[in-house]
Amino acid sequence: MDIQVSPRGAMELLSQREVQELTQTSDSNLLSLFRQCALAVLNTGSESDDACEIFERYADFKIEILQRTRGVKLDIVNAPEQAFVDGRIVEGIRQHLFSVLRDILYLGTQIEHSSLYSNSSSENITEAVFHVLKNARALKPNRAPNIVVCWGGHSISRYEYEYTKEVGYHLGLLGFDICTGCGSGAMKGPMKGAAIGHAKQRNREARYIGLSEPGIIAAEPPNPMVSNLIVLPDIEKRLEAFVRMGHGIIVFPGGAGTAEEILYLLGILISPGNENVSVPLLLTGPEKSRPYFEKIDALVCATLGKDVCSRYEIIVGDSHAAARWMSKQIKKVRRERRRDGNAYYFNWLLNIPFEYQTPFEVSHESVSQLVLSHNLPPHELASNLRKAFSAIVTGNIKENGIRAVQAHGPYEIRADESIMAMLDELLQSFVEQHRMKLPGSTYHPCYRVVPGS
């Protein structure tokens, strides 16, 4: 399909100078990112989570920004047909397109060329995350805490998916907004369930927030429930956005990406300075998923220590109890924020160490140099474990990672013998349970766990 599209939902009000900056940008990297993310949005509903396959299938796709007196238009050539109904672009997809334009080019240019948002300091990185969320109008200063972040895999079983909808339904009845990674599976289910709960309560202000980043969005395009799409510059800023904007976090079954998210948050919570900061963390799923959580719990306790396990709750087989537990914890968060003078809409007082904010450039060399040893302080080991899982995600679904593994073979993850055994067992269970790729795909491991030097 070929079409020209005007903005709606984002980028509707631009000055002539802003229009010129957008249409005349010469940053080839940002333009390439914009094209890939725009294609991902137009490809919503795809059954593939292979970024390389998607880009190759639509190699003739083109998108150009046109200058108009009243703003900009997008000229789109050879777009996926599923983005249209009777020759007209689906309205949600139109809005997501201009959210991508806003976050990748408009904000991307500001962040790239301003020392205020450089990756040189922890403060600058947090400012960049805040700036992106603020510009996307995702921060609501006059609302009591009500955002529940839901993490989980895009490749989950049907009974797990139905459970995420049940939890979402109870959260919707309780008036909570839902924030996820915006993809399918455990990212879509809670939103879909919450929509029914919100409808029953006649809640017309409910939000379904999707946070993504350029490397992931192609393999996990926004699901149809997402009302606010925000594309952060990299995975570390995406994770920081989750934990600073959310008031409680629910983890459903998933794969390497979900394990990465769990380790990221736990590593932060046990870092110095966060002893008195509450970020409710709940692991939940249907009864059949109990072994999944037992393996995650065992890995955390064995690597980071049993004290860390007190930082989260596990509720299996009871969606109503899961929602009630989260509701109770978020009331505590509200009291704590009022006591400490911390903003409801952005957790400024959470201390995120610089090592958790610095983008980890996945390569065969950087992965092989990760130290996974009990000799490290727990929060440092959690950081390195998170990076190891991030490398697996990169090799599984990101275009650059897939091509690197094809060219140079699997990443080598080096670990102490005891850590290696547990890590290998966990990852193998992910493979056997088809948590690494969507059903029907043949999975070839992009990693190899070997003894540390």
For range 168-196, the mean pLDDT? 96
Per-residue pLDDT of 231-247, as tens digits, reads: 998 899 999 999 999 99
Cα atoms found within 13 Å of the Cα of residue 29, Cβ hemisphere only: 6
Whole-angstrom Cα distance, residue 418 to residue 424? 10
pLDDT-derived band at 57, boundaries 50, 70, 90: confident
Residues of the chain with pLDDT > 70, as a percent, come to 90
Backbone phi, psi, residue 297, to 5°: -60, -40
End-to-end CA distance of the chain: 54
Q: Which tops the pLDDT comparison, 49 or 22?
A: 22
Closest CA to 213 of 44, 112, 359: 359
Closest CA to 145 of 9, 347, 323: 347
pLDDT given for residue 438 in this prediction: 65
Topology adopted by domain 3-113? MCP/YpsA-like (3.30.1850)
pLDDT-derived band at 368, boundaries 50, 70, 90: very high
Per-residue pLDDT of 270-294, as tens digits, reads: 998 898 888 999 999 999 999 999 9
pLDDT given for residue 150 in this prediction: 98
Topology adopted by domain 140-340? Rossmann fold (3.40.50)
The residue to which tokens 């998170």 are assigned: 386
Closest CA to 65 of 87, 109, 110, 34: 34
284, 252 contact by CB (below 8 A): yes
Residues of the chain with pLDDT > 90, as a percent, come to 51
Per-residue pLDDT of 313-326, as tens digits, reads: 999 999 999 999 99
pLDDT given for residue 326 in this prediction: 98
pLDDT given for residue 230 in this prediction: 94
pLDDT-derived band at 228, boundaries 50, 70, 90: very high
Q: For the chain, give every residue range classified as CATH 3.40.50.450.
A: 140-340
Closest CA to 372 of 448, 449, 428: 449
Mean pLDDT of the chain: 88
Per-residue pLDDT of 399-436, as tens digits, reads: 788 899 999 999 999 888 888 888 888 888 888 887 87
pLDDT given for residue 105 in this prediction: 75
Dihedral over Cα of 46, 400, 33, 353: its sign: positive
Q: Which tops the pLDDT comparison, 145 or 429?
A: 145
- The 10 Å CB-count burial string (b at 16+, else e) for 136-163 is bebbeeeeebbbbbbbbbbbbbeebbeb
CA-angle at 142, arms to 141 and 147, nearest 5°: 70
Mean pLDDT is lowest, of 51-55, 94-98, 206-210, 260-264, for 51-55
Closest CA to 191 of 175, 207, 213: 207
Tell whether pTM > 0.85. yes
Residue 48 pLDDT > 70: no
Q: For the chain, give every residue range classified as CATH 3.30.1850.10.
A: 3-113
For range 66-84, the mean pLDDT? 83
CA-angle at 382, arms to 266 and 423, nearest 5°: 110
Mean pLDDT is lowest, of 203-217, 375-389, 438-452, for 438-452
Q: Provide the CA 123 distance to its chain's centre, in angstroms.
A: 21
Per-residue pLDDT of 296-306, as tens digits, reads: 999 999 899 88
Residue 122 pLDDT > 90: yes
